[in-house]
């Protein structure tokens, strides 16, 4: 977050370029301009485009101008009364969102006019605290929808391609937990149509670099553009695993002024990949943050499995910032194979000392609706009791250790007498 410290470190070490990853400064146009003033290349989209797409209201207008469908909504909302009138027109539920928002922050669902006043004020308050901007807009809430996003690449020479889609419907609190590519929902013709539409729209907007366009699909197949993530995504891994394309490498080459050196017909997607996010959260307590010392850690690796992590045994997980600890990715010739490899990877992954999402992820992978590909953004909410009905493995280990200690002390099995 300390722009000056980042720039000083870059200059002191002789850097020519800055790559922000998916961190705090990744979608900050002021940081992009600060890099340019210091003669540093920012590996990502231009500040102008970042500002356009970072403001969800201006982004909606840009999407419509480019011919992309958007969810019915109001782009300028200044009072609860406007929302109530819109609700009378299109029906409830509605969702109020922060204009400068992202990551699920500042969202408030309303199911009727009685909830609008409080939700409006709450959304504005969160938006102000999180983004320094209390503007909000409202959209029709799509019940039982699927969250599907398209990865795209655009160079500075007018070339644009897409790398297919990712299924991101498994979420809690509007934030993703499991991502996979491709989606089981789309037919090849749909993938081609929507992907080409995205690539064309991003070229027209003036986007340069890698990015992702998020869509919401309703239960009858209608789809709506939600937003563009003007950065690399946490889940870019699954796209890399089925396309064989190193997206980070492409971003660096584009920033260096090179062309894509490939066309849409060169993109071939093979197999299926799944990513699970290991978060420092307690699913049983509504995903409350879990922090403390990692007392034991064994991560996984091997053929068909990819782990990205920045943690180690003995590290103390702080209560600040994002809860993501590591990512596990598995790839297979088909979805069933990828699921089996992911289940094996999660079984072998051991992390003690704090609560994580690992037990929940195991339960999700075994759920019949997940296995069949029947996914919606409300999957976890609808199956919460079943998914959190597990016993922590660490608890079981301690029970066994306690039993062994009793046997050693008594010289006999205490449960027999």
pLDDT digit string (tens) for 210-257? 999 999 999 888 999 999 999 999 999 999 999 999 999 999 999 999
Rounded to two decimals, the pTM is 0.89
Residues recognised as catalytic: 231
130 vs 150, higher pLDDT: 150
Report the pLDDT averaged over residues 158-173. Answer: 98
85 vs 131, higher pLDDT: 85
The pLDDT, as a whole number, for residue 100 is 86
**Confidence label for 131 from pLDDT (cuts 50, 70 and 90):** confident
- pLDDT of 301 strictly over 80: yes
Q: Token digits for 172? A: 């809690």
Report helix, strand or coil for 106: coil
- pLDDT of 407 strictly over 90: no
- 14: DSSP letter: T
Q: Are 177 and 362 in contact (CB under 8 A)?
A: no
How high is the mean pLDDT of the chain? 94
Report the pLDDT averaged over residues 105-123. Answer: 94
- pLDDT of 386 strictly over 90: yes
d(CA 344, CA 330): 10
- pLDDT of 341 strictly over 90: yes
- For 186, other C-beta atoms within 10 Å of its C-beta total 22
E strand or H helix that includes residue 151 = strand 146-154
The pLDDT, as a whole number, for residue 253 is 98
Looking at the domain that runs over 146-387, which CATH code has it been given?
A: 3.30.470.20
- pLDDT of 85 strictly over 90: yes
Evaluate the CA torsion angle 61, 21, 254, 214 in order and state its sign.
Answer: negative
Report helix, strand or coil for 171: strand
Measured between alpha carbons, how far is residue 177 from residues 168, 311, 323, 406 in Å?
8, 18, 11, 40
**Confidence label for 406 from pLDDT (cuts 50, 70 and 90):** low
- Which residue intervals of the chain bear CATH 3.30.470.20? 146-387
At the topology level, CATH places domain 75-140 in Dna Ligase; domain 1 (3.30.1490)
- Which residue intervals of the chain bear CATH 3.30.1490.20? 75-140
- pLDDT of 65 strictly over 60: yes
d(CA 151, CA 211): 6
**Confidence label for 417 from pLDDT (cuts 50, 70 and 90):** very low
d(CA 124, CA 100): 11
- pLDDT of 416 strictly over 60: no
- 284: DSSP letter: G
Q: Are 95 and 87 in contact (CB under 8 A)?
A: no
């Amino acid at each position: 977050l300390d722009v000056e410290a980042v720039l000083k470190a870059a200059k002191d070490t002789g850097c020519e370029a800055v790559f922000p990853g998916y961190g705090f400064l990744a979608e900050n146009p002021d940081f992009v301009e600060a890099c340019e003033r210091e003669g540093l290349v920012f590996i990502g989209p231009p500040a102008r485009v970042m500002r356009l797409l970072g403001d969800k209201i201006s982004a909606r207008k840009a999407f419509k101008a480019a011919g992309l469908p958007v969810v019915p909504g109001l782009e300028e909302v200044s009072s609860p009364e406007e929302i109530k009138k819109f609700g009378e027109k299109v029906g409830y539920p509605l969702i109020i969102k922060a204009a400068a928002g992202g990551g699920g922050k500042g969202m408030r669902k309303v199911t009727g006019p009685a909830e609008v006043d409080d939700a409006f004020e709450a959304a504005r308050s969160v938006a102000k605290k999180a983004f320094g901007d209390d503007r909000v807009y409202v959209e029709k809430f799509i019940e039982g929808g699927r969250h599907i996003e398209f990865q795209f690449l655009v160079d500075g020479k007018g070339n644009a391609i897409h790398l297919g889609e990712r299924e991101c419907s498994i979420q809690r609190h509007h934030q993703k937990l499991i991502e996979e590519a491709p989606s089981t929902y789309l037919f090849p013709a749909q993938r081609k149509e929507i992907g080409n539409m995205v690539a064309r729209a991003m070229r027209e907007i003036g986007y340069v670099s890698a990015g992702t366009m998020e869509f919401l699909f309703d239960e009858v197949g209608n789809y709506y553009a939600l937003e563009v993530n003007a950065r690399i995504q946490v889940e870019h891994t699954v796209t890399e695993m089925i396309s064989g394309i190193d997206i980070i490498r492409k971003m660096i080459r584009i920033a260096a002024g090179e062309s894509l050196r490939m066309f849409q017909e060169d993109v071939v997607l093979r197999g299926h990949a799944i990513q699970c996010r290991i978060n420092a959260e307690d699913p049983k307590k509504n995903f409350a943050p879990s922090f403390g010392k990692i007392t034991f850690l064994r991560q996984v690796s091997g053929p068909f499995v990819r782990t990205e992590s920045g943690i180690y045994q003995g590290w103390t997980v702080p209560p600040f910032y994002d809860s993501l600890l590591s990512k596990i990715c598995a790839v297979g010739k088909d979805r069933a194979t990828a699921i089996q490899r992911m289940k094996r990877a999660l079984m072998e992954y051991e992390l003690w000392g704090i609560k994580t999402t690992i037990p929940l992820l195991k339960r999700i992978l075994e759920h019949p609706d997940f296995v069949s590909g029947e996914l919606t953004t409300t999957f976890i909410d609808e199956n919460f009791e079943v998914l959190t009905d597990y016993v922590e493995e660490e608890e079981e280990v301690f029970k066994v250790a306690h039993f062994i200690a009793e046997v050693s002390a008594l010289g006999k099995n205490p449960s027999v007498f």
